[in-house]
Structure 1
């Protein structure tokens, strides 16, 4: 879980504070996404799941052809403009991308509009309440429905493996996705994933043997400082399961890859993006 000890301060929608981001040179990746907009089709879609109807955003390259698919699990603040921008950028690189509203059981996206202050206990409680409504079983049913939806799209290259990537709480959700549809998911990527290793029987790292995917696990430096043994547990779990993977601690703090966060680190975020691009190129075949 992404708690207040990790997620400090204010998180803003970069679109609402664009002048500040431009002034500090923090829009490189999002500017790339903006330039890619003409080459990407974006649609708001709804997906039927066992628990209801999920609102989501679908992206695919313009023109004729088929491409591998990627499911993107957002962080605790859910589907919002910055994740649409990130998905658009990814799609422009040759992928059919789906970003669901993980909190559809509770509220239509965006569940957070504008700035969000993690120091506000009441606001934090609301978000964590949305997360609590998502059981592990429910997440895996959702993931199965999302992949089925993607495979029903004519733009999807069904003969190629699919990828899944998650941010913050999306890290564990990505592990659950790999376990839910192991024959479909060929690559699992996480960025400052929260709670990948716990001391409970439900720890996400215990799902690794149920998957058939390669892993890219990008750890925030302050997450590693809090739980320095977790990276080694993950490495050992990958080795024991015979799953290829990289576990690396990045110089950014928790949230460093998402523009709008006070801890957004452009250089580290771009390095992580480059690693993701190479990872998918090697594994979504």
Structure 2
């Protein structure tokens, strides 16, 4: 992953370890867990066998009988933590089976950072460096295959409907790769303040677009765009060349990390607008 994957705007996330992973952990072959009282959503901690080990993740789906389209949520650089569990619950309440994996399962179970985290401090940023190096394009491809295969084993997943995938910060490129490597299943991709979507390298996420069959929503942070306004144009050109339906929008006044609660740059009006766009995308494309 490149340096662009760091949250330029996220200074402090007080939610990082406020909640421990207290739910039952289960293997993919034998699901367990409990439903939350007074909640329309079932939440479980799960373990998923991958080509590289066993990934810990959070799974959410609506209570009651039925089956729904599945979604893989790729979190930002601090990985799976309470704020992304909240996103998972909220999305599941809209009628989706949602998986939020720990990006760094190869080295540490989530939550991977204890206490608050300050990106302005080199010593805090250094904590992430060895973990971030374990997230590679090739590993992401293998993980994406495993995660969607896992979701497709669940009775709650409607396998007749396409899968959605969304990513935040460094998760944006991972969502792009997911759509290419499991192109027969993924029907929608959303990136929120994604870092490194267009690079000069051979594994640049935008180069995966010809292999994809998905519709794209790319929500760009204002300060990211000001730093390099050519990125969105290159991305639009690549989407057009791949004949992918897409919306690429710069969120004026919204800084990198604006969709993640707990950050000093969280922008609720802009975050809610992005959420509404996401739901509209999934309603349209996950059929």
TM-score by length of 2: 0.90
Given that 1:36 and 1:88 are in contact with CA atoms closer than 8 Å, whether structure 2 keeps it comes out as no
After superposition, the Cα gap between the structure-2 partners of 1:37 and 1:90, relative to the gap in structure 1 and judged at 3 Å, is farther
Q: Which residue number corresponds to residue 212 of structure 1?
A: 213
2: CA distance between counterparts of 1:37 and 1:45? 22
Q: Which residue number corresponds to residue 270 of structure 2?
A: 268
Q: Which residue number corresponds to residue 126 of structure 2?
A: 125
1: CA distance between counterparts of 2:216 and 2:37? 27
Q: RMSD value over aligned CA atoms?
A: 1.7
Question: Offset at 1:38?
Answer: 0.8
Question: Offset at 1:56?
Answer: 0.4
Given that 2:6 and 2:170 are in contact with CA atoms closer than 8 Å, whether structure 1 keeps it comes out as no
Q: What SS does the aligned partner of 1:110 have? A: coil
Q: What SS does the aligned partner of 2:39 have? A: helix
Say which structure is richer in helix. 1
After superposition, the Cα gap between the structure-2 partners of 1:133 and 1:266, relative to the gap in structure 1 and judged at 3 Å, is same
5+ residue gaps, structure 2: 19-35
After superposition, the Cα gap between the structure-2 partners of 1:212 and 1:37, relative to the gap in structure 1 and judged at 3 Å, is farther
Q: Which residue number corresponds to residue 155 of structure 1?
A: 156
1: CA distance between counterparts of 2:195 and 2:15? 21
Count residues in correspondence: 267
Given that 2:215 and 2:244 are in contact with CA atoms closer than 8 Å, whether structure 1 keeps it comes out as yes
After superposition, the Cα gap between the structure-2 partners of 1:194 and 1:50, relative to the gap in structure 1 and judged at 3 Å, is same
Given that 2:6 and 2:169 are in contact with CA atoms closer than 8 Å, whether structure 1 keeps it comes out as no
2: CA distance between counterparts of 1:108 and 1:86? 19
After superposition, the Cα gap between the structure-2 partners of 1:67 and 1:269, relative to the gap in structure 1 and judged at 3 Å, is same
Q: What SS does the aligned partner of 1:10 have? A: coil
Question: Offset at 1:106?
Answer: 1.1
After superposition, the Cα gap between the structure-2 partners of 1:140 and 1:88, relative to the gap in structure 1 and judged at 3 Å, is same
Pick from 2, 6, 18 the counterpart of residue 8 of structure 2: 6
1: CA distance between counterparts of 2:137 and 2:212? 15
After superposition, the Cα gap between the structure-2 partners of 1:69 and 1:37, relative to the gap in structure 1 and judged at 3 Å, is farther
Q: 1:149-203 deviations in whole A, cap 9, x for unaligned?
A: 0000000000000000000000000011111100000000000000001112221
2: CA distance between counterparts of 1:8 and 1:269? 14
After superposition, the Cα gap between the structure-2 partners of 1:217 and 1:3, relative to the gap in structure 1 and judged at 3 Å, is closer
Given that 1:2 and 1:76 are in contact with CA atoms closer than 8 Å, whether structure 2 keeps it comes out as no
